Structure 1
Amino acid sequence: MLTIDGIQSLLGQESDSLLQHTCNTISKDVLQLPGANTIDEVYALSNRGPQVLRSLGQLFNHGRLGGTGYLSILPVDQGIEHSGGASFAKNPAYFNPLNITKLAVEGGCNAVATTFGALALASRHYAHKIPFIVKLNHNELLTYPNKFDQVMFGSVRDAWNLGAVAVGATIYFGSEQSDRQIVEVSRAFEEAHSLGMATILWCYLRNDAFKKDKDYHLSADLTGQANHIGVTIQADIIKQKQPENNGGYKALNTGNSSYGKLDERIYTQLTTDHPIDLCRYQVANCYMGRIGLINSGGASSGEKDMADAVRSAVINKRAGGAGLISGRKAFQRPMQEGVQLLNAIQDVYLAKDVTIA
């Protein structure tokens, strides 16, 4: 198990900045923080039916983080999003979907999120051993030239038949197709709730205009608003990329252009440049943490993957988030190394010395 000394070592020169930071923007006292009673205190008091509560219970009470209110999820839909070859060339064993689910089981994850095809083949092997999350839509990159649009690959009913306890979907907020995607996903989530399944929304931004002097797909203000739309369509859990900058609205409101709405206090009172404060703003947009925020683990960069994963987990936890969903860092390496990386992420959430900022 990764100790606090191990966490500090992996964080290196950022250790004190990340582990000792106090958030003076949005106080932790106004947040709904993850805990053993999350389902009782939040979801059970909402419009979610008993079957949905049971599905959420399966998610939150499985794996090494079971009963803590935190989530560690293995997502492997990159065979569609980034092509099977690009995703699995580093470790061809994961062309076999049974190995995907095996990694999630051995890695102590709360759940595995992947495609209809993968879970269809794994269903009778693993549906009773680990919660399934079926990813409903994907962006395929075989059309020439490449386009960026999330399209449905199957039905909510089929996901239910596979034994899934939850469905996941992506909306590309800011894209030309976002209106259609919002309608499609909101209807799918309504059906999923009616069948007793939980819902997870990948709240990603997608618009070439968001890339200026910085990549504002990763700005706290724009991703925060995407989160806020996501919880509005009743996602039970929000997945979002961790913010790396801020000021997306300002960058897009230049010259004669007018984009969105902003309040200067977003930047002067509700955030700073510190990564924990930026992530705290994402949490605030998830109804002050009442809907859990899980951040994505990001692409694999090789030797730094363990340190990067632990850093992301520390930022998410200290910001008030509900966990990490990490895929490529885990499955693009030998299985035992992937298990160790997943366990390291989980150890951050189990570490009492890593507190809420």
Structure 2
Amino acid sequence: MAKKQAKLEELLGAEAKELLTHRCAGIPKDQIHLPGPDFVDRVFLPSDRSVPVLRSLQQLFGHGRLGGTGYLSILPVDQGIEHSAAASFAPNPLYLDPENIVRLALEAGCNAVASTLGVLGSVARKYAHKIPFVLKLNHNELLSYPNQHDQTLFASVDQAWNMGAAAVGATIYFGSPESRRQILEISEAFHHAHELGMATILWCYLRNPAFVQGKTDYHVSADLTGQGNHLGVTIEADLIKQKLPENNGGFRALKFGKTDDRVYGDLVPDHPIDWVRWQVANCYMGRMGLINSGGASGSRDLEEAVHTAVLNKRGGGTGLILGRKAFQKPFKEGVALIQAVQDVYLNRDVTVA
């Protein structure tokens, strides 16, 4: 354990002590519904989720290396549509074959694999009973010229159920001109998924050019992403996927919407763990788990992935959904990176702040 802790501190670098000892004073952890082995029973049992939905949620929380901990490690691979197959898979053409995507999730001990109708459907009969499937229902494709940024339904809830998926996933671009239509579409889809006994995961992303002010990108501000999360849980997403917050003050900088000064001081001090805590708070104080995304691949993927996992866990989050950092590497390296992230959640010395 001492060696693992030393390795973790090495990966975190100069920030290690600060990140591992920080305490959230704005919203203390005793106000949060924290992840744990009994999370489904403790949090979802009193809700309106049906017995089949509870079973599907337990499938997600019970599988893989993090099974039984209350934390999630999910491999998402829909980037062939979202970012083009060339941009996504040229670094490692192995993953143009859908079976290798599922093999990576299995070998790494993920709780689930999330992908497209085509990817999961092509191997469903072989793998749907071996690892929980999350079928992503909508996508933004970039072949249309000029490019458009809109989430379009590519699959139906019934198709997800027929292939044995444990959950469906979808994206809403909150803040975009198309968001109202997307909210209606996905609210109806999630209701039907719950009727059929599947869990629901919402990619609560922001999308509007006005959210970039100068050199600051408020698509990743704690206050705006927090409000995106709050809209997501309103349509009964069981889990929220959100980008890691990198700043705060989006509402103030954009001079729109309504906010409160306490979101920039007393409730949310200027610290990355407190920013994550605010994202969690907007998920009904953690009743719906927050899973942060892993982000794009680069030269410091291992360090960045572990850093994100520490912020998520210490902020009260439920795990990571990490794709490109893993599948754009050789198979064994991808497995090792995912498991390094999982080790953060298995490490009892990394506590909730």
- How would you bin the TM-score normalised by the shorter chain? over 0.9
Aligned to 2:283, what secondary structure does the other structure show? coil
Structure 2 Cα separation of the partners of residues 3 and 231 of structure 1? 36
2:294 equivalent in structure 1: 297
Structure 1 Cα separation of the partners of residues 267 and 90 of structure 2? 43
1:215 equivalent in structure 2: 217
Amino acid in the other structure paired with 1:289 = G
1:322 equivalent in structure 2: 318
Aligned to 1:73, what secondary structure does the other structure show? strand
1:228 aligns to 2:230 (yes or no): yes
1:346 aligns to 2:342 (yes or no): yes
Q: Superposition pairs for residues 231-250 of structure 1, below 5 Å?
A: 231-250=233-252
Gaps of 5+ in 2: none
Aligned to 1:186, what secondary structure does the other structure show? helix
Structure 2 Cα separation of the partners of residues 211 and 73 of structure 1? 29
2:253 equivalent in structure 1: 251
* From 311, 314, 321, the counterpart of 2:307: 311
Q: Superposition pairs for residues 185-224 of structure 1, below 5 Å?
A: 185-213=186-214, 214-224=216-226
Deviation at 1:5, TM superposition (A): 1.3
Structure 2 Cα separation of the partners of residues 3 and 156 of structure 1? 42
Structure 2 Cα separation of the partners of residues 42 and 89 of structure 1? 42
Structure 2 Cα separation of the partners of residues 300 and 270 of structure 1? 33
1:281 equivalent in structure 2: 278
Deviation at 1:7, TM superposition (A): 0.7
1:61 aligns to 2:62 (yes or no): yes
- CA distances 1:202-249 after superposition (whole Å, capped 9, x unpaired): 000000000003100000000000000000100000000010001000
Structure 1 Cα separation of the partners of residues 262 and 303 of structure 2? 33
Structure 1 Cα separation of the partners of residues 58 and 160 of structure 2? 18
Contact (CA 8 Å) 2:264, 2:270: kept in 1 or not? Answer: no
Structure 2 Cα separation of the partners of residues 43 and 186 of structure 1? 19
RMSD of the TM alignment (CA)? 0.8
Deviation at 1:273, TM superposition (A): 2.1
Aligned to 1:202, what secondary structure does the other structure show? strand
Aligned to 2:227, what secondary structure does the other structure show? helix
Amino acid in the other structure paired with 2:19 = L
Structure 2 Cα separation of the partners of residues 14 and 28 of structure 1? 21
Gaps of 5+ in 1: 254-258
TM-score of the two chains, using structure 1 as the length reference: 0.97
Deviation at 1:124, TM superposition (A): 1.2
Deviation at 1:347, TM superposition (A): 0.2
Structure 2 Cα separation of the partners of residues 52 and 130 of structure 1? 17
Structure 2 Cα separation of the partners of residues 294 and 128 of structure 1? 24
1:126 aligns to 2:117 (yes or no): no
Query: How many residue pairs were aligned?
Result: 351
Amino acid in the other structure paired with 2:23 = T
1:147 equivalent in structure 2: 148
Amino acid in the other structure paired with 1:280 = R
Structure 1 Cα separation of the partners of residues 270 and 247 of structure 2? 7
Aligned to 2:260, what secondary structure does the other structure show? coil
1:115 equivalent in structure 2: 116
Structure 2 Cα separation of the partners of residues 98 and 339 of structure 1? 15
Amino acid in the other structure paired with 1:331 = F
1:256 equivalent in structure 2: none
1:77 equivalent in structure 2: 78
Aligned to 1:265, what secondary structure does the other structure show? helix
Amino acid in the other structure paired with 1:62 = H
Aligned to 1:45, what secondary structure does the other structure show? coil
- CA distances 1:61-116 after superposition (whole Å, capped 9, x unpaired): 00000000000000000000000000000000000000000000001000000000
Structure 1 Cα separation of the partners of residues 5 and 179 of structure 2? 42
Structure 2 Cα separation of the partners of residues 262 and 57 of structure 1? 36
Amino acid in the other structure paired with 1:273 = D
- CA distances 1:161-198 after superposition (whole Å, capped 9, x unpaired): 11100000000000000000000000000000000000
Structure 1 Cα separation of the partners of residues 309 and 89 of structure 2? 24
- CA distances 1:232-268 after superposition (whole Å, capped 9, x unpaired): 1000000000100010000111xxxxx2111111111
Aligned to 1:192, what secondary structure does the other structure show? helix
Deviation at 1:149, TM superposition (A): 0.2
Q: Superposition pairs for residues 37-52 of structure 1, below 5 Å?
A: 37-52=38-53
Structure 2 Cα separation of the partners of residues 270 and 76 of structure 1? 35
Deviation at 1:122, TM superposition (A): 1.3
Deviation at 1:42, TM superposition (A): 0.9
Structure 1 Cα separation of the partners of residues 5 and 123 of structure 2? 36
Structure 1 Cα separation of the partners of residues 74 and 45 of structure 2? 22
Deviation at 1:269, TM superposition (A): 1.1
1:182 equivalent in structure 2: 183
1:263 aligns to 2:264 (yes or no): no
Deviation at 1:16, TM superposition (A): 0.7
Deviation at 1:272, TM superposition (A): 2.0
Structure 2 Cα separation of the partners of residues 315 and 139 of structure 1? 28
Structure 2 Cα separation of the partners of residues 290 and 185 of structure 1? 20
Q: After TM superposition, what 4+ stretches of structure 1 lie above 2 angstroms from structure 2?
A: none
Deviation at 1:201, TM superposition (A): 0.2
